[in-house]
Amino acid sequence: MENLVQLVRNAGVVGAGGAGFPTYKKIDGKAEIVIANGAECEPLLCKDQMLMQHYAGEVLAGMRHIMTHMGAEKGIVAIKAKNRAAIEALAAHLPEQISIFEMADVYPAGDEYEVVYHSTGRRIPAGGLPLEIGVVVQNIETLLNVRRAAMGMPVTHSIMTVHGHVKHPQTAWFPIGMSYGDVLEAAGGATINDFALIAGGAMMGTVVTDLSTPVTRLSGGFIVMPTDARLTVRKSQTEQAYKRFGKSACDQCSLCTEMCPRYLLGYPIQPHLVMRSLLTTGEMSETLTFWAQACCECNICTLWACPEDLDPRNVCVTTKRDLRKHDKWLPPDQLQNLTKDVHPLKEYRSVPTKRLTRRLGLGKFNADAPLRTDGVEAKSVSIPLQQHIGTPAIPVVQTGDVVQVGDVLAKADEASLSVPVHASISGTVQAVNTAILLGKN
């Protein structure tokens, strides 16, 4: 086989579960353990579960490619014990070097730090990388894409769960660049009039009202919610509003810190101290405190812990932004020096996903979102040149060119961190700017 790193780069594989870090860079090294992160924990989203259930062989094959390439002798699939169908499908294909680690149905079980700690007993250094402790963690969809890359197949589709107030909740492969509006129509449309989409999950996702938003390699799904639902409203607050409320109403009870999963793992994160920093600033001023730096933005503090309905999570997010802007970001070794032992009550403070789902107002949506197997067609797609961390891809097509599914539309910038972009439908190039617009002939 051609070098895996080059194949994975040529296919445009990026971390499908996070910020889109190019996978070719992540696997370019040595590791002891490769972990497949199947601990999907966003309420209602189930695309990883569907992948493990229906594509178990390919997922495990992708994992073996990486293990062989990185010299890892051990592989672990971390998955919630409740996903019995997926566990059985994996067990039927399991090679000797790979084991299944069953996790409790709690949130945020899928946080990389949680997955690594529970499945290996090791802790990722604060501000560091899993590779520093010999571990590499891959998202399930990424592993499938690695397998396909090894077979010469580029990333052209993204698997997403569409749930909430939608006629046919489902999980399906959607062409990259298809608009969210078309995705919604493919699922039968919304069942309510005034709605917004919560993209990426109820806990960590964002509110999307622009239905022309395109599917990218990072899209994991969306939940259709009323615009006036508590969850939608809370997630739509402006920075000025959540800072003003935080400044005036935080009583420093510290429940946000006591329930923070990263704090419970011993990392130097204390959201109540970040909230306290609001008291010394104006409502739109920067808050600069390192107690926000280890925040993974899981939203437990805001949507579960805080009795005052404040938003410590977003105050941590903007504080991290401001720390970077003012060059006050603590280097990893200094942050690591502040790390303590795992909290003795950690396991008793886990947040059960079922209760969390009810708290979020999603308890009535207990139906599955089954995998659709008939394939979703798009008449046109708008494929962004940048769907990854690094430098945007460089277009190699022009308006009027006719392309087939899988053709390269834009090549990687070879001199920097970058991956190419491929056609997700066959058709004609209609425009080239920061995205490439393709229409079916």
Contact footprint for ligand SF4 (CB under 6 A): 250-256, 260-262, 269, 271-272, 275, 295-301, 305-306, 308, 310, 312-313, 316
Residue closer to ligand SF4 by CB (options 190, 296) is 296
> Is the distance from CB of 281 to CB of 241 less than 8 angstroms?
no
Least Cβ distance, residue 224 to ligand SF4 (angstroms): 24
Give the C-alpha distances (Å, rounded to integers) separating 100 from 6, 87, 431. 29, 8, 46
Which among 407, 409, 411, 387 has a CA at the least distance from the CA of 398?
Answer: 409
Least Cβ distance, residue 349 to ligand SF4 (angstroms): 11
Distance CA 165, CA 217 (A): 24
Residue closer to ligand SF4 by CB (options 136, 305) is 305
Residue closer to ligand SF4 by CB (options 171, 357) is 357
Please give the single-letter amino acid code of residue 343.
Answer: H
Distance CA 219, CA 215 (A): 6
Residue closer to ligand SF4 by CB (options 55, 291) is 291
Query: Residues with Cβ < 8 Å from 38, sequence gap 6 or more?
Result: 48, 49, 52, 77, 78, 79, 80, 83, 86, 140
Cis-peptide into 125, omega within 30 deg: no
Least Cβ distance, residue 131 to ligand SF4 (angstroms): 22
Residue closer to ligand SF4 by CB (options 48, 111) is 111
Tokens matching residue 256? 């946000």
Least Cβ distance, residue 356 to ligand SF4 (angstroms): 12
Residue closer to ligand SF4 by CB (options 307, 344) is 307
Residue closer to ligand SF4 by CB (options 324, 440) is 324
Least Cβ distance, residue 390 to ligand SF4 (angstroms): 25
Distance CA 59, CA 143 (A): 5
Least Cβ distance, residue 266 to ligand SF4 (angstroms): 13
Query: Residues with Cβ < 8 Å from 133, sequence gap 6 or more?
Result: 116, 120, 122, 123, 124, 125
Residue closer to ligand SF4 by CB (options 239, 297) is 297
Q: Nearest 5 degrees, angle CA 280-CA 332-CA 16? A: 100
Least Cβ distance, residue 293 to ligand SF4 (angstroms): 10
Unique residue bearing structure tokens 């920075």: 239
Least Cβ distance, residue 276 to ligand SF4 (angstroms): 8
Residue closer to ligand SF4 by CB (options 13, 298) is 298
Residue closer to ligand SF4 by CB (options 200, 384) is 200
Backbone φ and ψ for 396, nearest 5 degrees, come out as -120, 5
Least Cβ distance, residue 132 to ligand SF4 (angstroms): 20
Q: Is 304 helix (H, G, I), strand (E, B) or coil?
A: helix
Distance CA 145, CA 10 (A): 12
Q: Chain-centre distance of CA 161, in angstroms? A: 13
> Is the distance from CB of 93 to CB of 57 less than 8 angstroms?
yes
Long-range CB contacts (within 8 A, 24+) of 287-290: 287/315, 287/318, 287/319, 287/322, 288/319, 288/322, 288/323, 288/326, 288/328, 289/319, 290/323, 290/328, 290/330, 290/335, 290/338
Residue closer to ligand SF4 by CB (options 225, 294) is 294
Least Cβ distance, residue 189 to ligand SF4 (angstroms): 33
Least Cβ distance, residue 203 to ligand SF4 (angstroms): 9
